[in-house]
Chain A
Amino acid sequence: MAETHSLQDLRQQAAIASKVFVQRDYTSGTVCKFQTKFPTELEARIEKQQFEETIQTLNNLYAEAEKLGGKSYLEGCLACLTAYTIFLCMETHYEKVLKKIAKYIQEQNEKVYAPLGLLLTDPIERGLRVVEITIFEDRSIGSR
């Protein structure tokens, strides 16, 4: 069990009980997609449907970032003509979607996960390898 037993610390912060990692789903190739399989450790904390909805929305957002379409081709061709120097000044489509994803995760944490004692970590902070879900243990002490 990962806990700090400092009284001071416990009053300030929740202790991390464990972390669950949602791995990448490579069945569609190298596109960024996470497995929607519901981890057993979360069964007690959150509904399966809610979890799946979050992961599916994330997958859709990443698919939007990596979509090969008219807009991305235009951006690519323009970049090629300028010897890719526009990447130095312009924010790419992917980066714009990443910001959207960060906002979505923050919103989900505030509305859904924090009240249940969970915390989603933005996959970009883990190299787009996993969605890390931290499970906080309830260690409230003192008069209750």
Chain B
Amino acid sequence: MKNCEYQQIDPKALATPSPAPTPSRPCLEKKPKRLKRKWEVFPGKNRFYCDGRIIVARQSGVLPLTLGLILVTSGLFFIFDCPFLVQHLTSCIPVIGGVLFVFVVISLLQTSFTDPGILPRATPEEAADIEKQIDNPINSSSSYRPPPRTKEVVINEQVVKLKYCFTCKIFRPPRTSHCSLCDNCVERFDHHCPWVGNCVGKRNYRFFYMFIVSLSFHTAFIFGCVTTHLALRSQGGNGLVFALQQSPASALELVVCFFSVWSILGLSGFHTYLVAANLTTNEDIKGSWSGKSGNEESGNPFSYNNIFKNCCSVLCGPMPPSLIDRRGFVPTEDEVRAIPAEMELPSIKTDINMVGRGPTSGHAPPPFLPPNP
């Protein structure tokens, strides 16, 4: 919503008019105020590092713990178990372990630091436009919250309800959900994972999936290697206790791996099912497509009904861009109202000769009639 602004006309400025419109590029800004990047004024509860290149949720959750566990366990494995196993078995072991470790750490960092698919909030004009379209505009007291506004759309012969988000002031696209921890609407919202300290959504789901799959292989691999190591050491009548005394670090690794391998393998299996069915955790938990109202025809309208195609579209599909433009500059008030430099609106120029000079297409523009207020 815009206000009428009556600005004092500066007589000095009138004497020397500048014909060119204000340039819209921030680097030509003459004001001494430092231009802010969009991440600095981002409304959600996120934190940014490296001048907006890295984005994380406000609460890092247990990400340091996750990272610590992986680094410590893998480190102990390479230092204490690998030398013995290389000697007695094969030198492939540290190589395989190394590759898995690299995959795990890289995919973890990518899951944590990538924008999950955050939808930027509506501009004031957009929000006003949507308000107009909704039947009952809210004029009464702000304490009463109206019932959730929904819009129905038919996708793949199925009725899908789009909910209005009061925080972001938009109708959420299908499969989008608002994360209360990050205070953002996230596209294809899966869940907010405290282990990675970020939401898992459209843009980072493939990193998350790779993380849990590679972590399950890695954990299982370390578990297997440590068991083999201890088994080899306790051969020849030495016993397990002796083996553990010789290599105490292996005990710690064994405990960590034993408890994590089941949950991580379970999670990988669950997400493999979700990928094959083109579902999100959010939808699965809520039972959005499982025919809760006894409607047998309702299925997932987004599924291709082909496991291979579902997997390919979720994991190998095109990588969508980040919509929040973290490193862009916030346009100042003047730039918002000025037309871009390359535009020429012949009708607004007061020079009489301009009427004859049309745009590049060569023809004279039609006469402009001022609209009736």
Contact = CB atoms under 8 A, between A and B. Distances in A.
A24 B170 CA distance: 11
Contacts of A26: 153, 155, 160, 162, 173-174
Q: How large, as a class, is the contact surface on chain B?
A: 35 or more
Contacts of A53: none
Interface stretch (B224-232, B236-244, B255-263, B365-373): B365-373
B17 A8 contact: yes
Contact of A14 (B162, B317, B324, B339): B339
Contact of B120 (A67, A85, A115, A127): A127
A139 B343 contact: no
Given A94-B319, A139-B370, A115 B7 contact: no
A137 B323 contact: no
B319 A129 contact: no
Contact of A7 (B3, B9, B122, B154): B9
B14 A8 contact: yes
Contacts of A1: 4, 373
A interface: dominant SS: mixed
Nearest to A45: B371
B52 interface: no
Nearest to A137: B371
A120 to B, nearest CB: 11
24 contacts: A3-B4, A4-B5, A5-B5, A8-B7, A8-B10, A11-B350, A24-B173, A26-B155, A27-B153, A27-B155, A73-B316, A79-B319, A83-B103, A83-B110, A85-B106, A110-B343, A114-B343, A115-B358, A124-B323, A129-B126, A129-B170, A130-B126, A137-B371, A138-B368
B301 interface: yes
Interface of A: 1-9, 11-14, 16-17, 19, 21, 24, 26-30, 44, 65-68, 72-73, 75-77, 79-80, 83-85, 87, 92-95, 98, 106, 109-111, 114-117, 119, 124-130, 132, 136-144
A66 B339 contact: no
A13 B22 contact: yes
A19 B10 CA distance: 29
B106 to A, nearest CB: 4
B301 A29 contact: yes
B101 to A, nearest CB: 11
Nearest to A77: B316
Contacts of A116: 365
Most central of A87, A98, A138 by chain B CB within 10 Å:
A138
A13 B370 contact: no
A143 B352 contact: yes
Interface of B: 2-10, 13-14, 17-19, 21-22, 102-103, 106-107, 110, 119-120, 122-123, 125-126, 129, 153-156, 160, 162, 170, 173-175, 187-188, 206-207, 210, 301-302, 309, 312-313, 315-321, 323-325, 337-340, 342-350, 352, 358-361, 365, 368-371, 373
A47 B350 CA distance: 27
Given A117-B347, A144-B350, A84 B106 contact: yes
B107 A11 contact: no
B359 A80 contact: no
A111 to B, nearest CB: 6
Give 8 closest A-B pairs by Cβ, nearest first. A76-B316, A2-B2, A6-B7, A142-B350, A127-B120, A127-B323, A138-B368, A83-B106
B361 A111 contact: yes
Nearest to A123: B323
